[in-house]
Amino acid sequence: MIPEEFKNKCKGIIPVQYCPFNENGELDIDGLKQNTQFLVDFAKGNKDLLIMTNGSTTEFYANSIEEQKKVIKTVVEVVNGKVPVVAGVSQAATKETIKMATYAEEQGVDCAMVVLPFYHKPTSEGMYKHYKKIAESVNIGIMIYNNPDVSGLLIGPDLMHKLSKIDNIVAVKDNSPIIDHYFMNSATIDSRDMVLLNGRGELQFLGSAAYGYKYRGFVTFIGNFAPSLSYDVYHAVKEKDFEKAEVALERLLPLYNIMGEFMGRRQDISILPSAYKTNYMYMSIGKACMDMVGLSGGPLKLPLEDLKAEERDELRQVLEKMKVI
């Protein structure tokens, strides 16, 4: 898919996939195929949906390069062109990211997602050159993953505007916790240059979309196991019915509430300001939810931790209350 075609289709809900593992930590390829086909089936009827894989939620950082490649290849083969596929290609260095982006393009991925450089922190100019070099190395679109949680960096509106003018940088998955950024991006970035996506899910999509509906979709973990609940939020906002969207959000409250409870039971040792940090309980909860609805979740890889047995029981009760199971 050429970058212009991808931009036209880049909207809706974007489930960022979990990577199922066996108990010994090996990839569960059959489970990944099952999870992917579930999303493809949900998208039937021209729903606005993209599949995002090999991202943070996919635990790409915990997988070897060969495992990352296997995940990308498997998802593209199952999707078979039925919905657009975005694949994370992030590595700490520009050269290594280019290698993965090239591989993703060869496999038929429609857009390569690149998180802000992690480990050594570049200057603003270094950041610009990083993305420019990657974009020039492939013919598919590039999506910037503006995530301070995992990088300790944040691209502000001025630099984002500059990056949007690079031909095949076509979208941003925006995880900024600063509401001003959503307004400034909406006001200054030409939608013909870059598609704006909210990377923080259903809750923040409603707020960011209020700025002239320039944010055209959102990335979701809930969409992996309960896509209809996520889609209700998106569809209401697409119709500009914000009251209906709030009702759809309220249906998700039990899940958000128990996530907050589980987070509160664990010590967070991050030194990032509170707006920028999380102890990633959504990972543990999401994988458990996948198992409970009959899909494939499996265990997390260390250093992340799975839910305790009693917490799984609490979560099951929540899903029953939500009528997810």
- CA distances, 188 to each of 156, 159, 173 (Å): 12, 11, 16
Structure tokens at 13: 């809900």
pLDDT band at 106 (very low <50, low <70, confident <90, very high): very high
Burial 16-48 (b: 16+ CB within 10 A, else e): bbbbbbeeeeebbeebbbbbbebbbebbeeeeb
User: Quick one: what percent of the chain has pLDDT higher than 70?
Assistant: 100
Helices (H), the chain: 3-9, 29-42, 65-79, 94-107, 124-137, 148-151, 157-164, 179-188, 202-209, 227-238, 242-250, 253-264, 281-292, 309-321
| Averaged pLDDT, 123-147 | 97
Domain residue ranges of the chain, discontinuous segments joined by +: 3-241
Q: What is the mean pLDDT of the chain?
A: 96
Q: What is the largest CA-CA distance in the chain?
A: 51
d(CA 155, CA 68): 26
| Residue in the block written with tokens 């409603």 | 206
| Averaged pLDDT, 65-85 | 98
The pLDDT value given to residue 53 = 98
pLDDT band at 15 (very low <50, low <70, confident <90, very high): very high
The pLDDT value given to residue 50 = 98
DSSP 8: H
d(CA 151, CA 130): 14
Task: Note the pLDDT tens digit of each residue in 268-294.
Answer: 888 888 877 777 899 999 999 999 999
Task: Note the pLDDT tens digit of each residue in 33-59.
Answer: 999 999 999 999 999 999 999 999 999
280: how many CB neighbours lie within 10 A of its CB?
20
Residues involved in catalysis: 145, 173
Superfamily, domain 3-241 = Aldolase class I (3.20.20.70)
> What is 90-158 written as a DSSP string?
--SSHHHHHHHHHHHHHHT-SEEEEEPP-SSPP-HHHHHHHHHHHHHH-SSEEEEEE-HHHHS----HH
Strand partners, 145: 115, 173
| Averaged pLDDT, 206-226 | 95
| Residue in the block written with tokens 């950041």 | 127
d(CA 42, CA 170): 25
Q: What interhelical angle do 124-137 and 94-107 show, nearest 10?
A: 30
| Averaged pLDDT, 151-158 | 94
pLDDT exceeds cutoff 80 at 16? yes
The pLDDT value given to residue 276 = 76
The pLDDT value given to residue 22 = 95
pLDDT exceeds cutoff 80 at 254? yes
